[in-house]
Amino acid sequence: MRSLLIILLLLFIALQLKMWFGEGGYSDVARLELRVEQQVRENEALAQRNRELQAEVEDLRQGLQAVEERARSELGMVKEQEEFYQVVPEVKDGAADRE
């Protein structure tokens, strides 16, 4: 009877060790929960980016204002009868010597 009790106690300890430290144990579950939280945050950021890009696509499809704004800012285009002024920053004395 005593040997059966010792065997059961050792089996219980082995099962507890596997539950706490083994594969699929609490440490693995905690690590996986952390990875899930990180992935959820990344997914939310990507979903926000997708919404912004979709809004920009819709804006470009619907009106010429967005196309005009993009042409002005990215391509430097101007309308007819507009004057383009380029402001060049003043070069200081020491900066001219370094070039």
Distance between CA atoms of residues 92 and 99, nearest Å? 12
Domain limits of the chain? 2-78
Distance between CA atoms of residues 77 and 99, nearest Å? 30
pLDDT of residue 52: 95
pTM of the predicted protein model: 0.47
**Residue 22 has what DSSP assignment?**
S
pLDDT of residue 38: 97
Q: How far is CA 98 from CA 89, 91, 92, 94, in A?
A: 16, 11, 11, 7
pLDDT tens track of the chain, all 99 residues? 889 899 999 999 888 887 777 777 788 888 899 999 999 999 999 999 999 999 888 877 887 777 787 787 788 788 888 887 878 898 887 655 555
